[in-house]
Amino acid sequence: MTRPALRLLVLALVGWLACFGVLAAAGTWTPFALLGLSLTAVAVGSRAVSWGLLRPSFRTVALGALGGASMVLVTHLAYVAVVRLAPTVGGATRELLTLLNVAGFSPGARALLITVIAGCEELLFRGLLPGSAAHLARAPRWPARGELRRIVAFTVAYALTTAPLGSPLLMLCAVACGGVWASMRVATGSLVVPILAHIIWDLGVLLVWPLSSLR
């Protein structure tokens, strides 16, 4: 990783930590969108994130859509199974979703914020992962050992930014989902795949088919 990319990553981590602090205190997502858009403009404009990673193709769009839909389904199935074994998880989930679906935004505005913030998170926290863009014809591959270490490091750092909310459940979700999205980025050599998967998963579990609606 180059020094400019490392500085940008540190700035993104510190910024996200501060934004989660604002969310905990004031209940607004707006700082995430404003900071995220500013940092992504810097990342793309400075070429810290390669344009090649953002080049869509039928394969990357299909993989992203399929990955996101699969994550939504797996999340719901896992949630039902876990709540049957540990009913307290249901209450913790509803409390977390109440905090994340903050008041003051219409469903359409929340959907737009989710889309913007999820895209910025992927570009910053997965786009800065070392590695080149894939050739469009290349099939997904299993990450190498060194890539797996970087995936773990980036994912843990990303999850720790959620600490101000004081939700172990959110941190666990950030580790699990962040690891999947980082693996998608490395395996496919594309940011299109994790961006779409992240947006679809967020919309699926927060707005379209919220976990809090399950009993």
- The band of 136, judged by pLDDT with boundaries at 50, 70 and 90, is very low
Neighbours of 95 (CB within 10 A): 13
Mean pLDDT of 111-138: 83
Whether 25 contacts 105, CB under 8 Å: no
Question: Does 137 score more than 50 pLDDT?
Answer: no
Which runs of consecutive H residues, i.e. helices, occur in 46-87?
A: 58-85
Domain of 127 in residue numbering reads as 3-213
Report the range of poorest mean pLDDT among 26-30, 77-81, 137-141, 174-178: 137-141
In the chain, % of residues over pLDDT 90: 69
> Which pLDDT belongs to residue 14?
98
Residue with the two structure tokens 């994912």: 155
Structure tokens given for 82: 């876990």
Side chain identity at residue 128, one-letter code:
L
Structure tokens at 1: 């990783």
- The answer to whether 125 touches 158, Cβ cutoff 8 Å, is yes
Is the model more confident about 111 or about 102? 111
User: What DSSP state is assigned to residue 204?
Assistant: I
Number of domains composing the chain: 1
Task: From 16, 55, 18, 21, select the one nearest 36 (Cα to Cα).
Answer: 16
pLDDT band at 41 (very low <50, low <70, confident <90, very high): very high
